[in-house]
């Protein structure tokens, strides 16, 4: 299993795996509800729309697939990346999604039409992680080039480049108010002020690379997971 996401109502979950299939689970019974088949290589990431009715997956086949979770059918296959897709995020209104890829770009997709609205270029190495602000106007991406970029999704332009990590950025998350972001790398996380790109805090504590990070709904705390076997 390469990624797992739970629906907002907490009743179902979707998992993706190396065998090119996503499975939608009924968390009450523990049984598989749907098997989502359409990718032709390992599925790396998945994200669910806020209404819990649809999902988007990213794969080593360089595509994203937009799924109807009620029927298990493909709504759109999103083609535009030239290398594997590492991460995907969906806007809070469920209308757009952002994908980050080994091709060093992010693509903003219109989920209704399947068209690419913006291709975001600025990183010099793989894009490992993406996150979108609650208002859907901005996003942050983390890369192997050791930076995060704060993007204006309306224009596709860079607002600021966040520099401070000394190794690849593996994960990013934005606070619910959209004012701060946290990124993880080597053995640290950095908390950023998105308005000016400043890093007021650089929490340490892990003894190996931090691979993932997530923020609580009230924006006051975060949890990180590391290669040192701790959170």
pLDDT in tens, 127-152: 999 999 999 999 999 999 999 999 99
CB 85 within 8 A of CB 94: no
pLDDT at 200: 67
pLDDT, one tens digit per residue, over 182-230 is 999 988 999 999 988 888 667 678 998 999 999 999 999 999 999 999 9
Angle at 53 between CA 47 and CA 57, to 5 degrees: 30
Contacts of 30 (CB under 8 A, 6+ apart): none
Whole-number Å distance between alpha carbons of 220 and 198: 18
pLDDT, one tens digit per residue, over 31-44 is 998 999 999 999 99
First to last CA, the chain: 19
pLDDT at 198: 83
Radius of gyration of the chain (CA): 17
Whole-prediction pTM value?
Answer: 0.95
User: How many other CB atoms are found less than 10 A from the CB of residue 53?
Assistant: 13
With b meaning 16 or more CB within 10 Å and e meaning fewer, what string describes 173-196?
bbbeebebbbbbbbbbbbbbebee
User: How many other CB atoms are found less than 10 A from the CB of residue 4?
Assistant: 13
SS3 (DSSP) at 58: strand
CB 67 within 8 A of CB 53: no
CB 36 within 8 A of CB 50: no
CA neighbor of 109 nearest in space, from 120, 96, 121: 96
Whole-number Å distance between alpha carbons of 179 and 115: 29
Q: What is the mean pLDDT of residues 12-34?
A: 95
């Amino acid at each position: 299993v390469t990624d797992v996401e739970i629906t907002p109502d907490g009743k179902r979950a979707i998992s993706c795996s190396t065998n090119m299939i996503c499975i939608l689970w009924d968390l009450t019974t523990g049984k598989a509800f749907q098997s989502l088949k359409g990718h032709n290589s390992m599925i790396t990431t998945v994200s669910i729309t806020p209404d819990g009715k649809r999902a988007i997956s990213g794969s080593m086949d360089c595509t994203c697939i937009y799924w109807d979770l009620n029927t298990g059918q493909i709504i759109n296959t999103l083609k535009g990346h030239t290398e594997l897709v590492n991460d995907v995020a969906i806007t809070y209104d469920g209308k757009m999604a952002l994908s980050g890829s080994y091709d060093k770009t992010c693509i903003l997709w219109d989920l209704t039409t399947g068209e690419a609205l913006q291709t975001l270029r600025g990183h010099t190495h793989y894009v490992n992680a993406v996150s979108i602000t609650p208002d859907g106007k901005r996003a942050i991406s983390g890369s192997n080039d050791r930076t995060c970029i704060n993007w204006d999704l309306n224009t596709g332009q860079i607002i600021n480049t966040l520099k401070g990590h000394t190794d690849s950025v593996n994960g990013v998350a934005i606070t619910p108010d959209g004012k701060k972001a946290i990124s993880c790398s080597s053995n640290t996380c950095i908390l950023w002020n998105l308005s000016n790109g400043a890093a007021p805090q650089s929490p340490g504590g892990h003894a190996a690379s931090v691979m993932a990070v997530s923020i609580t709904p009230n924006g006051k705390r975060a949890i990180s997971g590391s290669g040192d076997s701790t959170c």
